[in-house]
Chains A and B, each alone.
Chain A
Amino acid sequence: MSGRVAGTFFGSRLFDFLVFAAVFLALWQLAHEWGGDVAMTTPLDTLTFSVRTLFSAEFWPHAYATMRAFFIALILASSAGVLVGAVLGFHRLSGEVSEPILVAVYSIPKVTLYPIILLFFGVGMAAEVAFGALHGIIPIILFTMNAVRNIKPVYIKTARVLQLEPWTLLRTVLLPATLPEVFTGLRVGFSLTLIGTLLSEMFGSRSGIGFQLMNAIGLHNMDIIMSLTFLLVAFAGTANALMLLVDHRLHRRV
C-alpha cells in the first residue's frame, strides 16, 4: 500500500471499529479463560452454536412465537403512541396535564406491573403483547408529543398564507416537520417493546425465546444462553443500527 492510502486507512472509522472489535473479542476470550465454560463460552463456540441453533428444528417455533407477539405489540404501540402523542401535542392543556404522569410511568420498574397484566389478561400471548406494548408506547407518545409541540409556528403561518387544505398541510408540512423526532421515538420504542416482550416470556410463558432462556438458565446450559443472547443482540443491534442510519439522515435534512 502506498503511504497515503495506508495513512487514510489507519485514520479511518473502519480501522477504529476493527480495533474496537478486536479488543472486545480479546476481553471476551479472556473472561472465558478466567471463568471457564461454566461462566461463558468462547466467541468461536458461541458463533458455531448460534449457527447450529438457527438450523435446528426447536428454535423456529419459539422464534416465531416471540416475533409474532413482538410485532403485534410494536404495531399497537406505534399506532396508538403516535396518535395519542399527536393529540397531546396539538392540545396544549392535555399535553401539559399528561406529561408528568407519562414521565413518572416511564421511570417505574414496569416489571412490577406485569402480575397485574397477567391477572387481567391471563397467561398467554395477550399478556405478552400488552406488556410489550406498554414498554414501547410511552417513549413513542413522549417523542411524538414533543415533535408536534416543536413545530415552528412560522411553518403554520406560511401554510395559512398559502391557504393549504388540511390534508395537504398534514402531508407537506406537518409530517416532514415532525418526522425526525417521531422516528427517534419509534426507534426507542422498538428496542423497549422487544425487551418488554422478552421479559414477559421469561416470567410466565411456555413458548418463545424468553421461555427458552429461562429454561436454559434453570438448567445452567451456557451454550444455549450465550447463543440465544448472541442472536438477540445481533437482531436488536442490526435493527437499531439500520434505524440509526435513517435517524441520522432524517435529522440532517432538518
Chain B
Amino acid sequence: MKRATKLRILVLVGGVALVELLCRVGVIGAFTMIPPSQMATSLWRLIVTGQVHNDMVRTLTAVVIALGSSVLVGAAAGSAIHALPRVRRTVDPLLAAYYSVPVFVFYPMFIVMFGLNDIPKIVIGFLYAVAAMTINTLNGLDRVAPVYRKTSRVFRMGPAATAFKVVLPCAAPYLFTGIKLAVAYSFIGVVGSEFILSTGGLGYKIGWAYNDFNNQTMYGLILFILGITMLVNMSLHAWEKVLLARRGLQ
C-alpha cells in the first residue's frame, strides 16, 4: 500500500477518533452532535427495525430513475450537439453557465406539471445530472482523433459500425466520467429536493428529525447517505482510474 494511502487512512481514522473523544468528553455537546459510534449504532437500529426501509427504497428508486434517464438523454444530446457545430457554438456558453442556476427553484413548476408525487424530485435530479453527462459526452467525442474516423473509412465501415465499433469505445472513458458525475448529481438533486422541499424519502426524514430534535435518527440517516454516496462514488472513481490507466491517460 502506498505511503499516501496509509497516511490518508491514518488521518481519517484519527479525525473520527478525535470527534468521538470530543463528543464523549463533552467539548461537543450532545445537542450539537452525538459520537460517531452512536451514529453507527443508531443507523444499525434504523435498518434492523425497518423504520427507514420505505424511505430508503423511495430515495434510491428516484436516484436510479434520474440517473438512467440523465445518462441516456445526456449521451444522446451530447452526440447530437457534437454533430451540429452551429448548435454547439450557441449552446457551449450556456452549458458552461448551467450550474450557476439554482435548479431547485423550478420545483413548484414541476409539482403543477406532474403532481404532488416523486416525479418532480426525479426531474430535478435529472436536470442536475444531464448537463454533466452532456458536457462529458461532448468532451469524449472531441477526443476521438480524426485519424480514427479516417481509419474506419479505410476499413470501409458504414456510419453505424463506425459509431459503435470505433467512436463509442474511443470515447468510453470520458463517457464513464460523465456517468460518475451523473451519479453524484442525481443523489444531490434528489436528496436535496427531499430535504428542502419536504417531499418524503431520506432527505425529508433528516429534516424532520432535525426539527424534532431527534439527533440519534438524524445523524444515523446522515451517516447512511454519506456512506452510500461515498461508497458508490469512490468505487466508480477507482474503476475510472483503471480505464484511464489502460489508455495511458493517467
Partner-B contacts on A (CB < 8 A): 13, 16-17, 19-20, 35, 38-40, 93, 96-98, 100-101, 103-104, 106-116, 118-120, 188, 190-192, 194-195, 198-199, 202-203, 213-214, 216-217, 220, 222, 225, 228-229, 232-233, 236-237, 239-241, 244
Contact = CB atoms under 8 A, between A and B. Distances in A.
Given A20-B90, A202-B196, A222 B108 contact: yes
B105 A229 contact: yes
Given A107-B233, A194-B100, A199 B192 contact: yes
Given A116-B33, A191-B99, A111 B4 contact: no
Contacts of B196: 111, 199, 202-203, 214
Contacts of B154: none
A9 to B, nearest CB: 14
A39 B113 contact: yes
Given A111-B196, A202-B104, A240-B96, A13 B90 contact: yes
Given A217-B107, A244-B96, A109 B102 contact: no
Contact of B90 (A16, A104, A110): A16
A144 to B, nearest CB: 19
B187 A198 contact: no
B1 interface: no
B235 to A, nearest CB: 11
Q: Nearest 10 A-B pairs (CB), nearest first? A: A191-B100, A107-B184, A236-B100, A96-B4, A240-B97, A109-B191, A115-B210, A39-B112, A111-B192, A107-B233
B78 interface: no
Contacts of A214: 196
A237 B104 contact: no
B113 A104 contact: no
A100 B191 contact: no
Given A107-B233, A244-B97, A199 B108 contact: no
Most A CB atoms within 10 A — which of B11, B97, B107?
A: B97
Given A13-B89, A120-B32, A38 B8 contact: no
B16 to A, nearest CB: 12
Given A109-B187, A217-B107, A239-B100, A100 B234 contact: yes
Given A93-B3, A240-B97, A104 B203 contact: no
Nearest to A216: B108
Most buried by B among A107, A236, A244: A107
A101 B12 contact: yes
B248 interface: no
Given A39-B109, A111-B203, A119-B31, A194 B102 contact: yes
With a 10 A CB-CB cut-off, give which of B33, B215, B230 has the most chain A CB atoms.
B230
A72 B123 CA distance: 32
A104 B195 contact: no
8 contacts: A16-B86, A100-B237, A101-B12, A108-B225, A191-B97, A199-B192, A214-B196, A232-B105
Contacts of A120: 32-33
B89 to A, nearest CB: 6
B206 A112 contact: yes
Nearest to A20: B90
Nearest to A214: B196
Contacts of B206: 112, 115
B48 interface: no
Contacts of A240: 96-97, 100
Interface in B191-219: 191-192, 195-197, 203, 206-207, 209-210, 215, 218
Residue among B196, B206, B234 having the largest count of chain A Cβ atoms under 10 Å: B196
Given A38-B112, A93-B3, A241-B93, A113 B102 contact: no
